[in-house]
Homo-oligomer: A and B are copies of this chain.
């Protein structure tokens, strides 16, 4: 082969080549994401376009109040009461009907709402900043899995805790995080994976690492002892306190690659207790939806399969990014909660590699020979292989007020992927013929 040989054109069809180039750019941006926790601020101050009379919930957005699940509606009502938008649940419902209280999907505002979580304007949210590009993402503080607004409940005890979040914990965390110059979440999450977390439903080690960092921040900011003690008690009792970070970090990483023409990278995913939806990079802002699946898992003793309802929460995006169940081999202490064993866990990671666009250089799993996480779902490969991302998920009783019934595994419906790929094809055809 001489250097003088004429240029040999690629035999890859033009469209496929363009898609490969688009996806290569997309995954490069995803992997470059540098999530830092930079503060805790009132949602209304930082979430773009969040109105004072608005409440955000898990994606996808609904075209009417009635389309939302009873769980989400219950969470929105609780959030409206917390915000003082209404004095009673009845008044809240009237104001929703009158359009005086509006709702929207958190992911459409750069935010995330795990579980049945609802975000009104005064709710404190963790602010994550992508130091690779300046983007931001947000998630409310995690109350825990007892009676809580994140499960769509609201009562005096829940209100007392949320008021404490708003008036004392949020400001204390904000000061501490700023005093530290922010917290490097990429570094912290990488270490948590070495300590048995999968960073969706097990964040025990990450929460301890977070507490360890905050302790230094509290020292620098002379935070009152009573606030510190209650904060540390909350983190010790609630090993999921860190979960807002991987949710927001997943969003930041995927947002970095949103809107690349022709890219088939999945950039959004959520379920609202009724519908499940996904978004793709090449068609920014569009949701491809289908009825939300009912997870299968291990239920607490007092519940039966009839108590299981459709998936709910923006946390489905964690696995669609490449953490959570995608890395289940990292978290053996979590396996019994979803009825997994080593073979099932390793199978999930293997499957995820078949539909992933890349591999993370820092998020690694020691037991897998320190290999990197499969990052970024290519919706076209989902169709080609028939493999969908698998999500480990907390199962919430569909009837408001009943709470967590167990943990399970689920997958976004194939219809979402079929619709997304059809729309991508259509867009490509339009672009070629234009």
The residues of A with any CB-CB pair to B shorter than 8 Å are: 191, 194-197, 204-205, 208-209, 211-212, 215-216, 218-220, 222, 225, 228-229, 232-233, 235-236, 332-333, 335-336, 342, 366-367, 370
Among candidates B219, B229, B370, residue contacting A225 with C-beta atoms closer than 8 Å: B219
- Add 5 more A-B contacts to A205-B205, A219-B228, A220-B229 (CB < 8 A): A195-B195, A195-B204, A212-B232, A215-B232, A332-B367
> A215: which B residues are within 8 A, CB to CB?
211-212, 215, 218, 228, 232
List 26 interface pairs A-B (beta carbons < 8 Å), by A numbering. Answer: A191-B204, A194-B333, A195-B196, A195-B204, A195-B205, A195-B208, A196-B196, A196-B366, A205-B205, A205-B208, A208-B209, A208-B211, A208-B212, A211-B212, A212-B215, A212-B235, A212-B236, A215-B215, A215-B232, A216-B229, A216-B232, A219-B225, A220-B229, A222-B225, A332-B366, A335-B366
Closest to A228 in B: B219
Given A333-B194, A335-B366, are A225 and B232 also a contact pair (CB < 8 Å)? no
The CA-CA distance from A191 to B195 in the complex, in Å, is 11
Complex copy number for this chain: 2
Closest to A215 in B: B215
A185 to chain B, nearest CB (A): 16
Verify B225–A220 contact, CB threshold 8 A.
yes
> A211: which B residues are within 8 A, CB to CB?
208, 211-212, 215
> A205: which B residues are within 8 A, CB to CB?
195-196, 205, 208
> A366: which B residues are within 8 A, CB to CB?
196, 332-333, 335
A359 to chain B, nearest CB (A): 18
Closest to A192 in B: B195
The CA-CA distance from A229 to B216 in the complex, in Å, is 6
Verify B367–A367 contact, CB threshold 8 A.
yes
Verify B336–A370 contact, CB threshold 8 A.
yes
Verify B195–A219 contact, CB threshold 8 A.
no
> A235: which B residues are within 8 A, CB to CB?
212
Closest to A226 in B: B219
> A342: which B residues are within 8 A, CB to CB?
367
The CA-CA distance from A222 to B229 in the complex, in Å, is 12
A346 to chain B, nearest CB (A): 11
The CA-CA distance from A335 to B368 in the complex, in Å, is 11
The CA-CA distance from A233 to B215 in the complex, in Å, is 11
> A333: which B residues are within 8 A, CB to CB?
194-195, 366
The CA-CA distance from A216 to B233 in the complex, in Å, is 9
A372 to chain B, nearest CB (A): 14
> A370: which B residues are within 8 A, CB to CB?
336
Closest to A225 in B: B219
The CA-CA distance from A220 to B229 in the complex, in Å, is 8
A343 to chain B, nearest CB (A): 12
Given A194-B196, A367-B367, are A219 and B232 also a contact pair (CB < 8 Å)? yes
> A209: which B residues are within 8 A, CB to CB?
208
- Among A215, A225, A335, A336, the most chain B Cβ lie within 10 Å of the Cβ of A215
A388 to chain B, nearest CB (A): 26
The CA-CA distance from A179 to B23 in the complex, in Å, is 56
The CA-CA distance from A66 to B182 in the complex, in Å, is 54
Closest to A194 in B: B333
The CA-CA distance from A215 to B207 in the complex, in Å, is 14
The CA-CA distance from A195 to B336 in the complex, in Å, is 15
The CA-CA distance from A232 to B367 in the complex, in Å, is 29
The CA-CA distance from A232 to B195 in the complex, in Å, is 19
A207 to chain B, nearest CB (A): 9
> A208: which B residues are within 8 A, CB to CB?
195, 205, 208-209, 211-212
A384 to chain B, nearest CB (A): 32
Verify B219–A229 contact, CB threshold 8 A.
yes
A209 to chain B, nearest CB (A): 6
The CA-CA distance from A143 to B225 in the complex, in Å, is 29
> A191: which B residues are within 8 A, CB to CB?
204
The CA-CA distance from A370 to B333 in the complex, in Å, is 8
> A335: which B residues are within 8 A, CB to CB?
366
A236 to chain B, nearest CB (A): 7
